[in-house]
Amino acid sequence: MRATQLRRKLVLPKQPSSIAPEHVWSNADQDPVPPEKWTWTGWTFTQYWLSDLVTVSTWSAASSAFSSGLTATDTVLLTLVAALCNAIPTVLNGAVGADLHIPFPIAIRASYGTYFGYFCVASRAILALFWFGIQSAYGGQCVTPIISAIWPSYRDLPNHLPTSAAITTQGMVSYLVYHILQAPFLFIPTHRLQYMFIFKSALVPPMALAMVIWISVKAGGGSDLFHAPPTVHGSERAWLWLMNMTSITGMYLEDNLHLIQYLKKPGSPVWQLPMIPLFKVITGLFGIIAASASQKVYGTVLWSPLQIIDQWQGSPGSRAAAFFCASLWLLAQICNNISANSVSFANDLTTMFPKWINIRRGMVVCMLLGGWALCPWIIIKSGKTFLSFMGAYSIFMAPIAGILFCDYWLIKRRKYDVPALYDPHGIYYYRFGTNWRALACTLVVIVPLLPGLAHAVTPDNVYIDTGLQHLYSINYLYGFSLSVTFYFALNYFWPHRRTLIPAVVPGVFAARLSAVDLDIETTIMEGKMVRNLEKFD
């Protein structure tokens, strides 16, 4: 009886949707974004990427690649290539949200189908969940020097946790404090997040630059580490280069499609093309320079900015600097975690369970599962494990990115029927809610990579052919290019003609835009005529 009552209380009231059919359980969070919430601009996205990429994880990712045996030049180049692999699909696929103002979970139905689209939504949600945990773990590390700067005795806090926990009592306390500090930010409305980015982008990048300049001056210039030759050679070096590039690429696949729907102008996503490589390479270069200089200053290589800050505990002035820098890195982690992970996960979960989950509840679920159930401190404990995790998820996200790009730009020619995307049995239902072309492409990409994934996760237990290892090393390039080619070929020979409409059909809210009322009404009428004729096709 109590369980039944609790279940009834957890059910959300059915919100009227401006676009979904009456029999579909939906809510306003899934609808096309209304014009009054189109608050983002190209400049906003510049600040977003500055906020998203100047973080501890980006700094550490380049350092992790550097520590694998490559040279500093190798690491900078692979970071640049990885950034371009992120930027190009982000701009092209972001056009769906910028043009139609719909979220990713709705847009993906056009290519994958009403029900198979949930596979993409779940894949992205899992990725966001893991990244929320990883960024939270780095955020917890930011808290330790902050508390130690105020109470130095915190550094000597006795450990009462077993070794198997992979974290100390001090680390767990810091991690808990981080979540307490982050919790209020989880409930900021998405269309108002840009104010947080403005604040963060004005403070964190100058602080990161100051840290690099300080440790470089302290070291008296570069060290031998920065000019060190590679420890691997020949083909082994080339494949290691590709593996690290793929791993870093996997960090930001489909990273902002949940935000780009708030743009004022459809052309604004183009600003991301130069911004992503610029900020990603600079932050990665900061990590390499600082790691190189730290060897001369401290006698050991420090791969994370927090490891450098942890050395500043001698004098009151050093502790003040540690408090200031660690606080800003903490802000960076919170901003990144909310904009890139919790909002994304909440949007995806809202689409999968609209009867039970809204954006706010999705944020709480993300915090509980990603922040605690996944034990993310174990993932970041080893740089090798960290890179393996990043590379593994590319095999799932690369075909999704490739199919979405091919469908919107090459097959449908940017002509989607938005109301039909919300209709479970509309033109994007395909057959059994699944577009078999997308299913075939996804399987063709993923299946050959599964042995490589198993070997990467458990190399001591799974032995595979060298060729399969090399294929896995380029899983993003392989997955994206093959999915685009194969999906285009399948649609060329076996097109689904019902979805090839003559004009875009926007969401019903578009009729409120006075500047283009006539054009929009005409387009809507054309779209309705197309759908009515298709019933007799």
- Evaluate whether residue 186 is within a structural domain: yes
Instruction: Calculate ∠ Cα 122-128-129, nearest 5°.
Output: 85
Measured CA distances, 365 to 132, 218, 339, 342, 527 (Å): 11, 45, 16, 9, 38
> What does the alpha-carbon distance between residue 184 and residue 202 come to, in Å, rounded to a whole number?
21
Query: How many other CB atoms are there within 10 angstroms of residue 534's CB atom?
Result: 16
Q: What pLDDT sits at residue 535?
A: 40
Q: What pLDDT sits at residue 389?
A: 62
Range of the domain at 302: 31-382
| Ramachandran assignment for 204, one of left (phi > 0), alpha (psi -120 to 50 degrees), beta (any other) | alpha
CATH number for the domain harbouring residue 302? 1.10.4160.10
- Evaluate whether residue 44 is within a structural domain: yes
Q: What pLDDT sits at residue 447?
A: 96
- Evaluate whether residue 183 is within a structural domain: yes
CB neighbours of 254 closer than 8 A, spacing ≥ 6? 89, 90, 93, 104, 124, 127, 397, 400, 401
- Evaluate whether residue 505 is within a structural domain: no
> What does the alpha-carbon distance between residue 368 and residue 171 come to, in Å, rounded to a whole number?
18
Query: How many other CB atoms are there within 10 angstroms of residue 514's CB atom?
Result: 7
- Evaluate whether residue 142 is within a structural domain: yes
- Evaluate whether residue 389 is within a structural domain: no
Secondary structure element (H or E) that encloses residue 346, with its range: helix 343-352
Q: What pLDDT sits at residue 255?
A: 56
Please tell me the total count of domains within the chain: 1
> What does the alpha-carbon distance between residue 70 and residue 167 come to, in Å, rounded to a whole number?
30
- Evaluate whether residue 451 is within a structural domain: no
SS3 226: coil
Nearest Cα to Cα of residue 326 among 304, 344, 346: 304
Tokens 């070794």 correspond to: 163
Mean pLDDT by 10 residues, the chain (537 residues): 74 74 76 88 85 87 82 92 91 92 94 96 91 92 96 95 93 98 91 85 95 94 72 87 84 68 84 91 92 89 92 91 97 91 92 90 95 89 62 84 97 96 95 97 96 83 89 91 98 97 79 39 41 39
Cβ proximity of 36 and 513 under 8 Å: no
Q: What pLDDT sits at residue 181?
A: 97
> What does the alpha-carbon distance between residue 294 and residue 296 come to, in Å, rounded to a whole number?
5
- Evaluate whether residue 406 is within a structural domain: no
> What does the alpha-carbon distance between residue 366 and residue 463 come to, in Å, rounded to a whole number?
35
Q: What pLDDT sits at residue 385?
A: 60
Angle between helices 383-392 and 234-249 (to 10 degrees): 70
pLDDT in tens, 365-420: 999 999 999 999 987 776 566 556 666 778 888 999 999 999 999 999 999 999 99
Burial of 408 (0-12, 13-18, 19+ CB in 10 A): buried
Q: What pLDDT sits at residue 516?
A: 40
> What does the alpha-carbon distance between residue 477 and residue 253 come to, in Å, rounded to a whole number?
12
Cβ proximity of 133 and 410 under 8 Å: no
> What does the alpha-carbon distance between residue 242 and residue 387 come to, in Å, rounded to a whole number?
12
Cβ proximity of 258 and 347 under 8 Å: yes
Query: How many other CB atoms are there within 10 angstroms of residue 443's CB atom?
Result: 11
CB neighbours of 371 closer than 8 A, spacing ≥ 6? 132, 133, 136, 179
